[in-house]
Amino acid sequence: MSVADTAEKPQSKTSQAVEHFDVLIVGAGISGIGAAYHLQQQCPGKSFVILDALDSFGGTWHTHRYPGIRSDSDLYTFGYRFKPWVGAPIATADEILSYMGEVIEENDIGPHIRYRHKIVSASWSSDDGLWTVEAQRTDTGETLHFTTNFMWMCQGYYRHEKGYTPDWEGMEDFKGEIVHPQTWPEDLDYKGKRVIVIGSGATAATVVPAMAEDCAHITVLQRSPTYFIPARNENVLADQLRKLEIDEQWIHEIARRQILMDQAEFTRRSFEEPEKVRNELLGAVKMFLGEDYDIDKHFTPKYRPWRQRVAFIPDGDLFQGIASGKASVVTDEIERFTEKGILTKSGEELEADIIITATGFDLCVLGDIDFTVDEKKVNFADTVTYRGMMFTGVPNMAWVFGYFRASWTLRVDLMGDFISRLLKHMDEKGFKKVTVALRPEDKDMPLSSWIDPENFNPGYLMRSMHLMPQRGDKPEWQHTQDYWAEKDDLPNIDLEGAEFVYE
Ligand SMILES: Cc1cc2nc3c(=O)[nH]c(=O)nc-3n(C[C@H](O)[C@H](O)[C@H](O)COP(=O)(O)OP(=O)(O)OC[C@H]3O[C@@H](n4cnc5c(N)ncnc54)[C@H](O)[C@@H]3O)c2cc1C
C-alpha cells in the first residue's frame, strides 16, 4: 500500500473492545521508535503501543521516495546514541530505514507497533485520569478505541499525505506533469525529459544531482539562494578509529562528540562572525563552479548563515552537475505557468516536460488530532510550551520536537530520558496526572510565537506559526533549540518544581 492510500475514505465500522496501555506512542518514525526503546529500557514494567497511520515504520524516511533521497545531516548524530552508526555520515533513506529496522528487531519493538491506525481524536478525562484515543484503520475503515495514561507524541511536524505547493497562476494550463517530491509517482519516467525543479532547499539539492544524468536537462528555479556545505561524505576520525579496530560503540560516541563540538563552533561563529562564515561557505561553492560563475546571483543568500538549515552536499554533487552543464540554476520569480513551462517575472519562458515543486511541507500541529481536555477542545495556539515538550493545560502528554540546527534525534534521546524520569517520579509519588502551569513569577511574562523568526525562519514554519503553541521569554517556557544547553539542563530538571502540577 502506498502512503497516499492512507488518505482513502474509510467506511465507518466501530469495534467494541477498548484496549488500555500505560503509554501510547503516536508515530513510528525515528522519534517513536526511539521513544519505545527508552521506555522499554527505563520503565520496563510499562505497557505501551505505537500507532502509525502508515503501513510501515520510518515516518519521513518511509514517506519520501524521490530520487537520491538522503539525510542532510550526519548519521552519527541523527542516529540514536545507543546504536552505533557504521556507514558514511550522509545516508540514503533505505540505509536509515534498515538502521531503524535493526533497532526494532534487536529490541523486539515490532509486536508493539500497529500500522494503518490513524488517530483522529484524543480526549482527556480528569475523572478517570485517562486519555481515550480514537483511531481509524486506513485499510478496513474500523474505528478503534484505546485508553492510556500518557501520550508520547512522536507524530513529527508536517502532514505526510501531501506536501505544500503554492497556488501559481496558470498551473492548469501546463501540458506536462507536476510532481511534489513528497508524493513521488513510482513510475515517473524522466529519461531524456526537460525538468524544472522549483525550490532551493535540501530537497532540490538532492533531487537535481540524482536526476541530472538521465534528464535532457534539469533547471533549478529558485526565488532566492540557500547556503550549502559541499564536502566529502566521510568522517576521517571515525574511519581512522575503525582502522585501529576500536569498538564501534566507542567510535560512535567519539564521532558524535567531535561532530557536536564542530557544530557548536560553527553555530557560534555564524552568530559572532557571520561575514567570515559566509565567505567560507561561498568559497567552497566557488571551488566547484569557478570564478566565472555568477555565485553572487545564484548562491549568495540574503540572510546570515544558520537562519535556515544549511544542507550538506556530499562530494559537492549538486555543483558537479551544474559545472558539467547537465543542470543549471535560474534565480527569478514565477510570473505564471504556461502550456510549455514557466514564465518568470523577468520575462523568460522556461520550457519543461516535468515540473517538480520542491516547495516544502505543510506543517501540522500534533498530527491533526482533535484534542479535548475534560470535554473542552484544545487550541494549541492558546497554550504555552514548557521547553518545547509539554503544553499548559494539557495533562500527561509530551511532544518530541527535535532540533533544527542539530540532528533531530539528539532530542529524541534527551526527551526519552526526561519522560521516563517523569513517569517514574509519578509512580513513586502515586501521582496520576501532571500538567505544566505558569508559576506566579511567570504570570506577566511576555508571550510570543513558537520560534523567533530572527533566529530561524523556514517557510513552512512562517506559514503556520500562528497555529503553534506560544513561547515565553525564559528557557523553561520555550523550545530554545539549544542542544548544548539542554544536554545538561534536561537531566537536571527539578520534577518537584512549581511548574509541574501533580494530582
Ligand atoms: C527529506 C527530509 C530529510 C530530512 N533530513 C534530516 C536530517 O538529515 N537531519 C535531521 O535532523 N532532520 C532531517 N529531517 C527532518 C525530519 O523530519 C526529522 O529529523 C525526523 O525524521 C522526524 O522524525 P519524527 O519521527 O519525529 O516524525 P516523522 O518522521 O514525520 O514521523 C511521524 C510519524 O507519525 C505518524 N503520524 C502522524 N500523525 C499521525 C496520526 N494522527 N495518527 C497516526 N500516526 C500519525 C506519521 O504517519 C509518521 O509515520 C528531514 C526531513 C525530510 C522531509
pLDDT number for residue 460? 80
Residue pair 350/364 in contact by the 8 Å Cβ criterion: no
Cβ(59) – ligand 1 distance below 6 Å = yes
Instruction: Identify which of 56, 97, 70, 65 has the alpha carbon closest to the alpha carbon of residue 185.
Output: 65
E strands, 66-183, where? 113-114, 117-125, 130-137, 142-153, 177-179
> In ligand 1, which atom is closest to the CA atom of 404?
11
pLDDT digits (tens, 9 = 90+) for 306-320: 777 788 899 899 999
Amino acid identity, residue 144? L
pLDDT number for residue 456? 73
The residue assigned the cell 481524536 is 121
CA distance readout (Å), 155 to 25, 31, 118, 243: 9, 8, 11, 39
CA distance readout (Å), 107 to 3, 43, 59, 113, 329: 26, 14, 19, 12, 46
The protein residue whose alpha carbon is closest to atom 30 in ligand 1 is: 156
pLDDT digits (tens, 9 = 90+) for 166-210: 999 999 999 999 999 999 999 999 999 999 999 988 899 999 999
pLDDT number for residue 457? 73
pLDDT number for residue 405? 79
Residue pair 203/66 in contact by the 8 Å Cβ criterion: yes
Residue pair 422/490 in contact by the 8 Å Cβ criterion: no
**What is the 401 CA–ligand 1 centroid distance (Å)?**
10
pLDDT number for residue 44? 97
**What is the 341 CA–ligand 1 centroid distance (Å)?**
32
Using CA atoms, how far apart are residues 463 and 457, in angstroms rounded to an integer?
10
pLDDT number for residue 9? 43
Number of residues in the chain: 503
pLDDT number for residue 4? 38
Which residues is 386 bridged to in the sheet? 390
pLDDT number for residue 479? 95
**What percent of the chain lies above the pLDDT cut of 90?**
84
pLDDT number for residue 305? 83
Mean pLDDT score across all residues of the chain: 93
Query: What average pLDDT does the segment 264-292 reach?
Result: 91
What structural domains does the chain harbor? 3-161+364-502 (3.50.50.60), 171-357 (3.50.50.60)
Task: Show the DSSP H helices in 22-106 as ranges.
Answer: 30-42, 60-63, 75-78, 93-106
> In ligand 1, which atom is closest to the CA atom of 69?
1
pLDDT digits (tens, 9 = 90+) for 359-387: 998 999 999 999 999 999 999 999 999 99
pLDDT digits (tens, 9 = 90+) for 47-73: 999 999 999 999 999 999 999 999 988
Terminal alpha carbon distance of the chain: 44
CA gyration radius, the chain: 23
Cβ(26) – ligand 1 distance below 6 Å = yes
The protein residue whose alpha carbon is closest to atom 12 in ligand 1 is: 408
Query: What average pLDDT does the segment 444-461 reach?
Result: 84
pLDDT number for residue 454? 77
**What is the 157 CA–ligand 1 centroid distance (Å)?**
7
Using CA atoms, how far apart are residues 450 and 423, in angstroms rounded to an integer?
26
Instruction: Identify which of 260, 313, 242 has the alpha carbon closest to the alpha carbon of residue 84.
Output: 242
β-bridge pairing 113-114 and 48-51: parallel
Residue pair 275/201 in contact by the 8 Å Cβ criterion: no
Cβ(220) – ligand 1 distance below 6 Å = no
pLDDT digits (tens, 9 = 90+) for 83-102: 999 999 999 999 999 999 99
Number of helices followed by number of strands (H, E) in the chain: 13, 23
Q: Is the pTM of this model over 0.75?
A: yes
**What is the 407 CA–ligand 1 centroid distance (Å)?**
12
29: pLDDT strictly greater than 90 = yes
Max CA pair span of the chain: 71
